[in-house]
A = this chain, B = another copy of it.
Amino acid sequence: MTYELYYWDGLQGRGEFVRLALEEAGADYVDVARGERGTAKMMNYMHGKHGYDMPFAPPFLKDGDLIVSHVANILNYLGPKLDLVPKDEKSRLFAHGLQLTITDFLAEVHDTHHPISTADYYEDQRPEAKARSKAFLKHRVPKFIGYFDRIIAANPTKSGYALGDTLTYVDLSLFQLAKGLAYAFPRAMKNFDNDYPRVAKLRDAVAERPNIEAYLRSKRRLAFNESGIFRHYPDLDQDPA
């Protein structure tokens, strides 16, 4: 069965965390909204034209007659099917908790450029975005990325992964976080590899996996841009705190 991924066309955004899992596993999937009339097809689900279980927002995944919305829900669902999480309950619950921490962090990344209103442009909330970015870089990046670095260090298998001794979807998401932060805040992340050596090493290990390497070179991988979550606005960047 072909998985159908529904996400806004033209940006990596939250959909990218699902794409990385599907690509790493070599899964059969269609990125529906990038196809013909794809956005209209996606909106039909959100407007309830295919049933009561209408998603609030993309991304969502269709697998047969199941609709799974939200990145963490999708990855928790796909993880065992794609061999991207250990099958025991303790590991699955822990991995899902880690992914939900990533979810929270992403909302904060988004708010660095939209601290007042998503209904207004970044240009209409620049001073507030600068203030929020400053606090984000000083307090939030160390708190979150430092946590993930400690998680990798605490992994009893010493595999270099977030949990267990094989790659999980959490590792793929951490790769995307590290890449996104470097894109959005190149100056502030200058010392990233020193400050978070385990996350940095994991990022590089993920990039070298054959399926991921092929994906990153393909047209399916869109470049980071200023429609996504990670946006490079030079005004919001600064020297390392």
Residue of B nearest to A144 (CB): B56
Complex Cα–Cα for A60 and B96 (A): 13
Residue A197 interfacial (CB < 8 Å): no
Give the A interface residue count (CB, 8 A). 52
Contact A117 B97 (CB under 8 A): no
Residue of B nearest to A90 (CB): B66
Residue A190 interfacial (CB < 8 Å): no
Residue of B nearest to A72 (CB): B100
Q: Which residues of B contact A128 (CB under 8 A)?
A: 115-116, 128, 131
User: Given A56-B147, A90-B66, A104-B107 in contact, is the A96-B119 Cβ separation under 8 Å?
Assistant: no
Q: Specify the main secondary structure of chain A where it touches its partner.
A: helix
Q: Which residues of B contact A117 (CB under 8 A)?
A: 131-132, 135, 139
Residue A70 interfacial (CB < 8 Å): yes
Residue of B nearest to A102 (CB): B56
Q: Which residues of B contact A163 (CB under 8 A)?
A: 52-53
Complex Cα–Cα for A154 and B117 (A): 29
Taken together, the copies of this chain in the complex come to 2
In angstroms, how far is the closest chain B Cβ from the Cβ of A93? Answer: 5
Contact B139 A118 (CB under 8 A): yes
Q: Which residues of B contact A98 (CB under 8 A)?
A: 56
Complex Cα–Cα for A167 and B151 (A): 37
Contact B97 A70 (CB under 8 A): yes
Report which A residues bind B (CB closer than 8 A).
48, 52-57, 60, 65-70, 72-73, 76-77, 89-90, 93-94, 96-98, 100-101, 103-104, 107, 111, 115-120, 128, 131-132, 135, 138-140, 144, 147, 150-151, 154-156, 163
A-B contact pairs, 16 of them (CB 8 A): A52-B154, A56-B98, A56-B147, A66-B90, A70-B96, A70-B97, A77-B93, A115-B115, A115-B128, A115-B132, A116-B135, A117-B132, A117-B135, A119-B138, A119-B139, A128-B131
